[in-house]
Structures are given as C-alpha cells and as structure tokens.
Amino acid sequence: MVSKSDKMALERIREFGKQLLEQIKRGESPYFQMPTRTKGNVMFEEGDKTLSLGGRMSTRRFLNYAHTRKFMQSVMIAAATMEYIKSDRTVGKRELYYNLKHSLPNSKQNTFEDDTESGSVLDDLEASLNILREQFHVIAKGRGSIYGDLDLRQAGDEFSCKGLGRGGWLIPGYTEDVEFLNYNADFILAIENDAMMSRLIEEKAWKKLNCLLVTGEGMFPRGVRRFVKRMHEELKLPVIAFVDGDPWGFYIYSVLKYGSIQLAHLSDRYAVPDAKYLGMTMDDIETYGLEHVTEKLKDIDRKKIKEEMQYPWFKHSPEWMRQLKLMAEKGVRIEQQALANKSLAFVAEKYLPEKVEEGKFLP
C-alpha cells in the first residue's frame, strides 16, 4: 500500500527528473531552483505566526563549475530516495551518507565526503521540491515517547499508546505513515523532561486530565515535532507546553510554536502556531511557594534571555517580556521537577489541573 505522503513525494521527484531531462533534450545546461535559506530570507509572518522563507530564490546549474558537485549530489539523493520510498525503507542521515558514498569512476573524487555534505544537499532538495525530509524517507532521530489513550496503525501493526506499563511508545523518526484510529483526549501535553514524563505516567495524569503525554527528552527532535503537528491537525487537539521556567524551556516552546530559523522553509509542517504555554512561569515561584527550590541563573542563561527579548514573538508580547524581565531581575530559574518539593503527587493533583481548568496559559 502506498501512502498519500509517498505518492506525493514520488510524483515530485519524478517531476524533478523530468524537468532536468527536458532541459538536456533542449540542449540546455540542466538547472533547478530553490528558495534561498540564508537568515536574510527568513521572515516572521505576522499572519500565520510562523517563521517562513521570503521570495528570494537561487538557481543550481550543472554547467556552473561551482555548482556541479552539488548538482550531481542532488540528483543522486533524489534517485536514492525514490528507491527508499518504493521499497518502504527509511534511512537515517548518516546511513544515507554511507549508502551513497563511493568514488567516481576514473577519479579519486568521492560522491560525498561527510554527512554534513549530504545533509545540506538534502535540505536544498527539501526546499526545492517542497517536500519534507521524512517524506523522502530520510528520518530524524528516534527519541521521545508518547503515552495516552490513542490507537495507531503503522507498518501493518495496530497498537495502543496506553497500557504500556511505566514506559510508552517510542516515537520513531518516521511517522508520516501513522494512521490515527481511535483516541480519547482533550489536548496534548508536550513535556520537556523525561523524568517528568515518568512522573505523569505513574500518577495517571493522562487519565485524570484526559490528555496525551508527549516528551522529546529536552529539545524536541524533528520527529516528535512532526508527530505532534500531525496529531494537532488531524485530531484537532490543542497543544499545551509544560517545560522548565528558564530560557531553554522558553526556547523549546518557541520552536514548537513558531518553528526554527534552520527549518524556516518547513514551519508550516512542524510549527503549531496556536500552542499555549502552561508553565513553569516566574509567577509559579511565588504562587506555589517554590522560592527555596529555584536555581541561580548562569551567564549563559542571561545571554539567552537577552537574545530571546529580541525574538519578534516575545518582543511584541507584554506577557512574555514580563516573564523574561522577571527572570533577569530575580536572577533565578525554576525547573519542572521543583514541584516535587510540595509532594510527588502535587504536579498531577493540583498544579496541572488548576492551570488547565482556569486556562492559565501564556500565549
């Protein structure tokens, strides 16, 4: 069975090949175009509230000495991914590199010298053909997990994301082919820390709050963000972030909501612009009496705060500027797990239910 994602990807890769072929037949130097991905062409769209690319395009030409190598690599990767899709195989970034590395006939030149070379060409192809790396069957790191009342189908298997003891389902790097069968949940809780995930599984928070628990174990990897995005869109579930009250937690939220500069060309398929922020906030420290379990800011934290004050979405938000200023003034950060100072059950029995019921979120 070919999935919708596979069908679309195959069509676009074929189209890409056809264009090159026609250029050759017409006696032209083959070329293709892609949006420029430099910082200067990255914009914050006030309308759909995500980072995206502006209109600048660049052209890659086979008969341009500076482009030839990259051109050859692009065609190689496009051809290989076609095979991956057809055989229903997915490859990691490093596997792709090894799979395609060989010396060119009658030369000492290698097709690729390292996986940053193949990775960057892949990024170009993504932008040029406007399809995701995952849709090429090149996968992100498999990290992070989900727990809750959700039944899935993938690769011929049907399974549930609950009833898995103290563990959960490891979210694989490739989830384009996941079908959502049944679910019972009001929202998705996106959790920074894997120990907090364990706590919430144990406290049966997914049942009490009627939500799906997802963690990316720190910064959410692409695979997890893409899976969250798909659940958000297809199951119409709001996404609520629960991260550390520090510039790094704020950053995780920021990437989840608006996308990242590196992947600006893909924000529409990763970012969840209407995600909300539950905590930890600087106000939580006083509200819940956590003054003695804060951590002092380090220089690197202060630097990141200053940087975040320049992000357009924080800069124009009074609520967020207040948080960032409060943090700098108090000189402290507060971790999710500091809530354990009240009691282990506190987070699931009081903190989360109160915030969710009263809708106490930051934008």
Q: Which residues bind a copy of itself (CB under 8 A)?
A: 84, 87-96, 98-99, 101-103, 110, 139, 141-143, 145, 152-155, 157-159, 163-175, 178, 194-195, 197-199, 201-202, 217, 292-293, 335, 337-341, 343-345
Q: Which lies closer to a copy of itself via its Cβ, residue 300 or residue 344?
A: 344
Element (H, E) at 283: helix 282-287
Per-residue DSSP letters for 26-50?
A: TTPPPEEEEE--SGGGEEEETTTTE
Beta bridge partner(s), residue 35 = 57
In the complex with a copy of itself, the residue whose CB is nearer, 183 or 361, is 183
294-297: which pairs have CB atoms within 8 A and are 24 or more residues apart?
294/330, 294/332, 294/333, 294/334, 294/338, 295/332, 295/333, 295/334, 295/335, 296/331, 296/332, 296/333, 297/246, 297/327, 297/328, 297/331, 297/332, 297/333
Rounded alpha-carbon distances, angstroms, from residue 226 to 122, 133, 210, 306: 17, 11, 22, 29
- Asked whether 294 and 284 are in contact (CB, 8 A), the reply is no
Nearest one of 222, 257, 224, 258 to 241, comparing CA atoms? 257
**Between 172 and 259, whose beta carbon lies closer to a copy of itself?**
172
**Cβ distance to a copy of itself smaller for residue 51 or 224:** 224
Catalytic residue among 31, 98, 174, 288: 98
Q: Which amino acid is at 114?
A: D
Tell which residue, 141, 121, 34, has the closest CA to residue 77: 121
To a copy of itself, the closest distance from the beta carbon of 235 in angstroms equals 17
- From the CB of 274, what's the least distance to a copy of itself, in Å? 27
Angstrom distances, CA of residue 218 to CA of 106, 140, 145, 341 = 47, 15, 12, 21
Which one, 167 or 331, has the nearer CB to a copy of itself? 167
The amino acid that residue 181 corresponds to is L
Q: Contact at 8 Å (CB) between 30 and 24?
A: yes
Q: Which tokens in the block code for residue 252?
A: 């995780």
Query: Which residue number, 67 or 342, has a Cβ lying nearer to a copy of itself?
Result: 342
Min separation Cβ 311 and a copy of itself, Å = 28
Q: Which residues pair with 53 in a beta bridge?
A: 42
Nearest to a copy of itself of 38, 341 (CB atom)? 341
Tell me whether residue 251 is one of the annotated catalytic residues.
Answer: no
The span from the CA of 328 to the CA of 114, in Å, is 41
Residue written as token pair 């069509």 = 11
Shortest distance, CB of residue 153 to a copy of itself, whole angstroms? 8
Q: CA–CA separation, 209 vs 356, rounded Å?
A: 8
Query: Which are the catalytic amino acids?
Result: 98
